[in-house]
């Protein structure tokens, strides 16, 4: 199974830290954030990783290279000067990902989730990992009912930026900039979006305060 790491974003909420360095290369506990993901994917038995690039992407390519350092094969999906958003970025990378289901991980989360747990499920377009709502996102994103992701009901949970996706989710899409959320809503409506709740270590590294907290420093959101 292949995996895709989303690494193209500008990281506006982390400025000025991201003015000179792409968000996935910011240091967390002694090494760049994205390397935590590469090590975890290698432990899970993933061999092929696709990384999308836009903002300061050359720095990511230079630091990670071919992926041989981690026993991986890394390919890069170039998006140009302006990121294509999550949906457009994944769609652009589909020729590299191939026809089989693939792991998807946001490059700006820090987690102890075992990627090896995600396995293809017949009859579904995607499987999302959800987490309890963090303080900065108290309303959550989705409900979870008997293993199926829903738009209504309570309680709600936050999408962890981790999932297993099939190319079928992107049927009818065209190359360009577009969000992922409408495609997830469409899959929910078709009863083809499964999910699970993960309660282990997880942080959305989306602010200087949360980054500082991960690194053992006092800071505010």
| Tally of CB atoms within 10 A around 171 | 10
User: What residue segments make up the domains of the chain, in order of their start?
Assistant: 2-214
Mind listing the pLDDT tens digit for each residue in 151-207?
977 799 999 999 999 999 999 999 999 999 999 999 999 999 999 999 999 999 978
3-state secondary structure of 42: helix
Ranges of beta strands (E only) in 146-218 are: 148-150, 156-165, 193-197, 202-204
CA distance 220 to 168: 41
Backbone φ and ψ for 114, nearest 5 degrees, come out as: -85, 105
Note the pLDDT of residue 15.
Answer: 80
Q: With contact defined as beta carbons under 8 Å apart, do 107 and 10 qualify?
A: no
Q: In sequence order, which residues have a C-beta less than 8 Å from that of residue 128 and are 6 or more positions away?
A: 142, 149, 159, 160, 162, 163, 184, 193, 194, 195, 196
CB–CB of 33/25 below 8 Å?
yes
Number of DSSP helices (H) and strands (E) in the chain, helices first: 5, 13
* 2-214, CATH topology level: Spore Coat Polysaccharide Biosynthesis Protein SpsA; Chain A (3.90.550)
Q: Are 24 and 5 in contact (CB under 8 A)?
A: yes
Residue-wise pLDDT tens digits, 107-157:
999 999 999 999 988 889 999 999 999 998 999 999 999 999 999 777 999
| Pair of tokens at residue 149 | 């992701």
């Amino acid at each position: 199974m292949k995996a895709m790491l989303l690494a193209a974003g500008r990281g506006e909420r982390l400025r000025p830290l991201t003015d000179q360095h792409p968000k996935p290369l910011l240091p967390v506990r002694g090494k760049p954030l994205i390397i935590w993901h590469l090590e975890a994917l290698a432990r899970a038995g993933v061999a092929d990783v696709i990384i999308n690039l836009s903002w300061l992407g050359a720095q990511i390519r230079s630091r990670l290279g071919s992926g041989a350092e981690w026993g991986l094969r890394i390919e890069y999906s170039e998006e140009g000067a302006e990121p294509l958003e999550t949906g457009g970025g994944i769609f652009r990378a589909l020729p590299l990902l191939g026809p089989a289901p693939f792991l998807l991980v946001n490059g700006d989360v820090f987690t102890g989730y075992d990627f090896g747990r995600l396995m293809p499920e017949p009859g579904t377009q995607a499987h999302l990992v959800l987490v309890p709502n963090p303080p900065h996102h108290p309303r959550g994103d989705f409900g979870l009912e008997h293993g199926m992701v829903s738009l209504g009901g309570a309680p709600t949970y936050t999408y962890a930026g981790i999932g297993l996706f099939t190319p079928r989710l992107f049927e009818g899409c065209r190359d360009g900039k577009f969000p992922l959320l409408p495609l997830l809503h469409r899959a929910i409506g078709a009863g083809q979006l499964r999910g699970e709740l993960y309660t282990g270590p997880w942080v959305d590294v989306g602010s200087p305060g949360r980054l500082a907290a991960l690194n053992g420093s006092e800071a505010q959101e």
